[in-house]
Amino acid sequence: MIRRFTLRTPGVSMALGVLALGASAGAADVAGDPAGRVRTNDGAVQSAMRDELARSMSDLRLGDEAHPYYLGYTIYDLDQATVNATLGALTAEHAYRGRILRTDLRVGDPSFDNTNFEGGAKVETIPLEDDYAALRRELWLRTDEAYKSALETLARKRAAAEGQAAAEDEAAVGDFSKEAVAHLEVPFPAGAADPEALRATARKLSSVLADFPDIASSRVAATFAIVRRRFCSSEGSVVDDNQRTVRIDVVAETQAPDGMKLKSFVPFTALTPAGLPPLADMEKAVRAMAKELSAMRTAPVATTGAGAVLFEGLAAPQLVKLLLGDQIAGTPPPRTAQAGSDEGNDQGALANKLGQKVAAAILNAVDDPSLAAGPGKAPLYGAYKIDDEGVAAQKVSVIEHGVLKSLLMSRTPRKEIAHSNGHARAPKFAAPRARVGTLVVSGTRPLPHAALLDELGKIAKGGGVTTYVVKLLDDDSLPGSDTDELATLLAFGMGSHGPPPVHPLVVYRLDHGKETLVRGLLLENLVPRSLKDITAVGADGVADNFLEGGAGFSGVPTTIVSPPLLVADVDVRRQSGRNRKPPLYPSPLARH
């Protein structure tokens, strides 16, 4: 065991104190604050970015090495409040503010540069206050680091390219497409992410679950994140905009008398706390979820066999996310220094099938970040005007009548598509790549709900197939994931082949038009090609707003809208494995 110690002698802290005083005293004349204690200026961030960018582009050069041909800075101001509650009492509360810088510096030229290779994004935390000198100093140092590392990467990439036979699809594709310059400045609305805005809602929603003694544990996690994005590039693009997201997850868990673990949740999403549904409506939804979960304890267990499944409600967009979400991104995977096949790389299994049939002919999918509102005026997380590489967002028709027509593109081109369509999106601590904005799935001949159930009935009549209506799938981004479940997943990865099974949370079995709540089933072999097994599509879309690649401010706000989807052929497996026994004593809530 290594013991480490760090210490500060009084002498040194004194010296630091003096330095700090000196700096703030000298700053009095630049301050907006009459007392002169804090140097802030709303234009300081923009000016610091612009000035250091100009200097770097004109002067930054190491010996005989190349100078940067492109430099882009993105500064995110992060502001987030999180409130957790259980049974009417707050359990945790956090407020966080921070500022981070992503530096995208490129050497070489657009046809072959240091990107699209090994090495990740350059993201660093930088000073929170709008202090010109402090920010410029950070920009200077981070740009210097990015430049040196870019030179190194370019050299390694060149060396690797020399030693590898060029793959046919890499020839003359290039690394960085030329796009129009973007300019967007949106005023930043006043107000911070205040936990107070969520407290009462979290308390009230969590207290609803106190009325359900059959539910063993429950929690409400509410997050309000505000992200201001400032982007400027050596090409002249300037973006200053912001995004707000509110998400409240109400999660409940319990066990059936035979020990089977049961879970359900209901999410509420909005762009501001005021945009959430009325409290009474949210309470009603939580109550319905809790009632259903309580009933699930004594519901019959599903049987293994062939199934026809109607995914409706939130389960439809959840299924689309699973089957299509990452598949329609056209950003090619980065090249590697190692020679060898990339067959193990399953990123974008659909991406190489442009012009081919990838889904049932009745299915269409469009990604349109310019949509203002979803079905029933639902707020859309995935709405934006300019993407994270400074390219204007375009509407992309991805699937038309089951045929893959286009892909979501960033500025990293691919053989078939040379330009970005404004879908470069980045979790705050990673580099941008093509991702879904607002993906809307629709049917060519949409059927009303009753007709969808008739379709299921028809399939059942054929015999040998059990019909189910799945209303909710499990979501691994939910707070407080179960360690037993994690162990099952890990064990699965080691022993079996094929994709991990999909775990539906709320399932009804349909017998002769009658819906019966069932539990304990897993859906197997749901893969992108299952899109071809969709035999009917409903009419009314449901929006699923989520944060991709991280919770709160760090994730990419994304929306998938889908109407109910009927998948005619799904392998249904009865959940197996041993469960812990339910608690020995009844819940204390049951006594009053």
Partner 1 sequence: MLRAEAKRQGKLYGLAFRDISGGFTNTARGGPQAFKVLPILVYRVYVDGRPDELVRGVDLVGTPLSALSKIMAASNDYQTFNGYCGAESGFVPVSATSPSLLVQQIETERRDKGSDKPPVLPAPSLLPMPPKGIR
User: Contact positions toward partner 1, by CB under 8 A?
Assistant: 1-12, 30, 41, 43-44, 47-48, 51-52, 55-56, 59-62, 132-133, 136-137, 139-141, 144, 147-148
What is the spatial distance between Cα 516 and Cα 572, in angstroms, rounded to a whole number?
A: 16
Residue 309 makes CB contacts below 8 A (sequence gap 6+) with 467, 468, 469, 470, 523, 566, 567, 570, 572
Rounded Cα–Cα distance for residues 365 and 409 (Å): 15
Q: Are 262 and 254 in contact (CB under 8 A)?
A: yes
As a whole number of angstroms, the distance between CA 221 and CA 198 comes to 10
- Nearer CB in complex with partner 1: 59/476: 59
**Rounded CA gap, 251 and 511, in Å?**
29
Least CB distance from residue 69 to partner 1, whole Å? 16
| Cα(31)–Cα(36) distance, integer angstroms | 5
473's tokens: 């799938």
Residue 187 beta carbon to partner 1: minimum distance, rounded to whole angstroms: 18
Closest approach, Cβ 126 to partner 1, in A, equals 14
Is 71 or 452 the residue whose CB approaches partner 1 more closely?
71
Q: Are 33 and 22 in contact (CB under 8 A)?
A: no
Q: Closer CB to partner 1, residue 56 or residue 86?
A: 56
Q: In terms of CB distance, is 133 or 378 closer to partner 1?
A: 133
Q: Which residue has the tokens 């050299």?
A: 155
The residue type at 289 = M
Nearer to partner 1, 29 or 476 (CB): 29
CA–CA distance, 501 with 499 (Å, rounded to integer): 6
> What minimum distance in Å lies between the beta carbon of 46 and partner 1?
9
User: Between 2 and 494, whose beta carbon lies closer to partner 1?
Assistant: 2
Cβ at position 152, least distance to partner 1 in Å: 12
Find the length of the chain. Answer: 592
- Distance of closest approach, residue 49 Cβ to partner 1, in angstroms: 11
Torsion sign across C-alpha atoms 281, 282, 283, 288? positive
Between the alpha carbon of residue 233 and those of residues 56, 137, 141, 273, the distances in Å are 11, 18, 17, 33
11 vs 376, beta carbon nearer partner 1: 11
Decide: helix, strand or coil at residue 491.
helix
> CB-wise, 41 or 370, nearer to partner 1?
41
- Inter-CA distances, 568 with 227, 459, 529, 537, 578, Å: 42, 8, 13, 11, 31
Q: How far is the CB of 138 from partner 1 (least distance, A)?
A: 10
- Alpha-carbon span 564 to 318, nearest angstrom: 11
Calculate the dihedral angle through the C-alpha atoms of 357, 361, 362, 367, rounding to the nearest 10 degrees: 20
What angle, 0 to 180 degrees and rounded to 10, lies between the N-to-C axes of helices 44-59 and 132-163? 40
By C-beta, is 2 or 280 nearer to partner 1? 2
Q: Least distance (Å) from partner 1 to the CB of residue 121?
A: 20
**Residue 506 C-alpha from the chain's centroid:** 23
Q: How far is the CB of 421 from partner 1 (least distance, A)?
A: 35
User: In whole angstroms, how close is the CB of 386 to partner 1 at the nearest point?
Assistant: 24
Residue placing its CB nearer to partner 1 in the complex, 12 or 590 = 12
